[in-house]
Structure 1
Amino acid sequence: MSYLPIVKVAAAHVAPVFLNKRATVAKAISLIREASRHGAQLVAFPESFIPAFPVWASLWAPIDNHDLFEKLVQESIFADGPEIAEIAAEAARSGVFVSLGFSERSHASVGCLWNSTVLIDDRGTIVNHHRKLVPTFYEKLVWAAGDGAGLRVVETPIGRIGGLICGENTNPLARYSLIAQGEQIHISSWPALWPTRRPSTGGNFDNVAANRLRAGAHSFEAKAFGIISAGYMDAGMRDYLAARDPAAAAVLDDSPRAASMFVDPTGAPIGDTVRDEEGIAYAEFDLNRCVEPKQFHDVVGYYNRYDVFALTVNRERQEPVTFRDARSHSTITAQGEITGAGARQHEVRPGDREVN
């Protein structure tokens, strides 16, 4: 007898309108509507879908990329900005949950960016906001390190949903922190490609095999279903980069393309796989299938030794500065939020509130 929900999920295997936040938001809204028409209750978008994944950091030296960084900053978005609000409104209209990857701007700095995701529920409420803990390899030239505030599993009517961004799915402690919150659906988001070598030196990192391995391992250990939502490199993105430096074309063309797919609680493939074209992949998750495998290995239950191992996770949102008002003994954070005895004496700008 079933007592947990059966959920239809979608992974949007799509390209952004490269470095164009307005057009990419419009594309995301269209895709949410399409997935909803096909019965999806949850749709996941790729890593840094808005406005694009900064693959150029793998192609050229930092001193050659200043203009691209400035363009990325200009087209990145705030977590409490109008672009997220538009997508949240569409989630509510369509009645679906949305996981969205985006390059996030900071209210405290004109140049600080994070690699972030938000989970939006079917009423248009942001129920989690995660910043990638450690940018991977050349991503460090673009994004700042995040914090643990988003290491949360959200209990929803369609299951307990958690997620990590790209290389975080290789971090066993981050993954364990989600498993220990009863995760049933794990969303992993990925870029369209991951260049690591020039063709003449022996080819590139196998994106698809690595992503499938990591997603399968997490689902096997968590006894949870997995959504692998990867980006797609369209002609617009490729041509934009190749026009800048024709030598980059060979690297882009030689790098394996990512795939969007799903895995079940044993780590086995389930549902659709989309790789070589844009599209939406679908799968059905019967969350009752998360229960039986817990008899074999429940790494947050009987199959652990809490007297031997311990893990502490700091989930405080980190701020660059705290201002103390001597008159009222209140604290003003970099986001403009005011705490303490004098909070009522100050006006807080609504646009500066943190979204969590």
Structure 2
Amino acid sequence: MSTLPRFTAAAVQAAPVYLDTEATVAKAVSLIAEAAGNGASLVVLPEVFVPGYPYWNWTMTPVQGSPWFERLRQASIEVPGPQVETLCAAARQHGAVVVIGVNERVPYSLGVLFNTMLTIGADGRLLGVHRKLVPTWAEKLTWTGGDGSSLKVHQTEVGPLGVLACGENTNTLARFALLAQGELVHAASYIALPVAPEDYDMADAIAMRTAAHCFEGKVFTVVSCSTISPEMGIADRPRSALSGIFGPDGRPVVEPLVDDEGIVYAEIDLNRCVQPKQMHDIVGHYNRFDIFRLHVDQRPRAPITLEETWTTPPSDAPGYPTPLS
């Protein structure tokens, strides 16, 4: 009789060393070591933890914020790259599955940055590079949207693991796409949002999204959120951040952490997902696939496709080669 994994998960709530790439990576390595030292086999860190979130999109005009975009690009990382190798080495050293958000730059364009979630196996292999599909509201001034190629569930030492960044956890179809691939552990990474409208409670918003996904999919979610530090230059306000671990009934497994830096630990037993699935299995018997159908395009998108093989032109052709069809 097969049994599902049982393990300790860690949800990290911390601020980056703002726009300081190497210092933030070092802090991430330290947090991974601390969490693993306390028994965690899965460590989830916040959205764009390396090297921070572009809060100026919310507090400045696009013209005022443009120099900050340049600073962020300079501090962003390439994937793969040396900073990713450092994070992978930390996962391997401590034997933990790691999920962490980074700002990713690309070599083909100076204007393209991605909000990227890295999934790293306990053996140090980079398993997944998920680029946020739709940057939220003011974030469109900074990030380019990703494609469906990274909307995948990874088979890890802690079970089938899927990840989404912040507002993506509101996207019903994106969440269903992960559930339908067998997701049982969901990692949801967020940023603290004190710049939201006055009537918006970020802690409540995170908790509601997390509970909804857990209850609908009968899965566990480890949710990690960043916090605000003085060097970010924005005023903090209460209930801007929440991190914790939620079970397949939609309830927190332990008391979530609100606003303060720290690490939340909880034991996850994936066998707890079985009996609730008998009641509502929305990727199985509790659906009507003869009525509903979801198509996910997982082809990677690139700005150009280059054909490198050419035919020999016929004798009467103009003076340039003819591409193969």
Q: Is TM > 0.5 for Structure 1 vs Structure 2? A: yes
Q: Select which of 320, 324, 344 maps to 2:307.
A: 324
One-letter identity of the residue aligned with 1:291: V
1:271 Cα deviation after fit:
2.2
Calculate percent identity across the aligned residue pairs.
44
**TM-score, reference length from structure 2:** 0.93
Q: 2:230 aligns with which of 212, 232, 235?
A: 235
* Residue 275 of structure 1: how far off its partner (Å): 2.1
CA deviations over 1:292-333 (Å, ceiling 9, x no partner): 00111100111111110111101122111111224379xxxx
SS at match of 1:196: coil
Q: Structure 2: which 5+ residue stretches go unaligned?
A: 313-323
Per the alignment, residue 66 of structure 1 pairs with 66
Q: Give, in angstroms, the shift of residue 157 of structure 1.
A: 2.7
- Contact 1:195-1:205 at 8 Å conserved across structures: no
2:278 aligned partner, one-letter code: Q
One-letter code aligned to 2:275: E
Secondary structure in structure 1 of the residue aligned to 2:245: strand
- Is 1:214 the counterpart of 2:209? The answer is yes
Note the alpha carbon deviations across 1:177-206, whole angstroms, 9 max, x for none.
001011111111100115233xxxxx2411
Q: Which residue is equivalent to 1:56? A: 56
Relative to structure 1, the CA distance from residue 328 to residue 99 in structure 2 (aligned partners, 3 Å threshold; closer, same or farther) is farther
Partner of 1:295: 278
Deviation at 1:278, TM superposition (A): 1.1
TM-score, normalising length: structure 1:
0.85
**Aligned position for 1:348:** none
2:320 matched residue in structure 1: none
Q: Secondary structure at the match of 1:9?
A: strand
- Is the 1:258–1:275 Cα contact (8 Å) retained in structure 2? yes
**How far apart, in 1, do the equivalents of 2:41 and 2:307 lie?**
45
- Distance, in Å, in 1 between the alignment partners of 2:39 and 2:311 is 53
Q: Does 1:188 align with 2:171?
A: no
Deviations 1:52-79 (A, max 9, x none): 0111111111010111000000001111
TM-superposed deviation, 1:273: 2.0
Pair 1:112-2:112 in alignment: yes
Q: 1:69 to 1:314 in 2, by over 3 A?
A: same
Deviation of residue 272 (structure 1)?
Answer: 4.3
Instruction: Report the secondary structure of 1:324's partner residue.
Output: coil
Which residue is equivalent to 1:95?
95
8 Å CA contact 1:265–1:289 kept in 2: the answer is: yes
Q: Distance in 2 between matches of 1:66 and 1:235?
A: 21
Report the counterpart of residue 337 of structure 1 in structure 2. Answer: none
Look up the SS of the partner of 1:128 in the other structure: strand
Q: Which residue of 1 aligns with 2:221?
A: 226
> Matched residue of 1:260: which SS?
strand
For 1:96, the aligned partner's letter is A
Structure 1 runs, 4 residues or longer, greater than 2 Å off: 252-256, 325-329
Q: How many residues align?
A: 314
CA distance, structure 1, for counterparts of residue 237 and residue 29 of structure 2: 32
Classify 1:310/1:56 alpha carbon distance in 2 versus 1 (closer, same or farther; 3 Å): same
Q: Sort the Cα spacing of 1:156 and 1:30 in 2 relative to 1 into closer, same or farther, 3 A.
A: same
- Per-residue Cα deviation, 1:119-150 (whole angstroms, up to 9, x for no partner): 00011101111000000000000000111111
**CA spacing shift, 1:19–1:33, aligned 2, 3 Å:** same
Query: Greater CA deviation, 273-282 or 134-143?
Result: 273-282
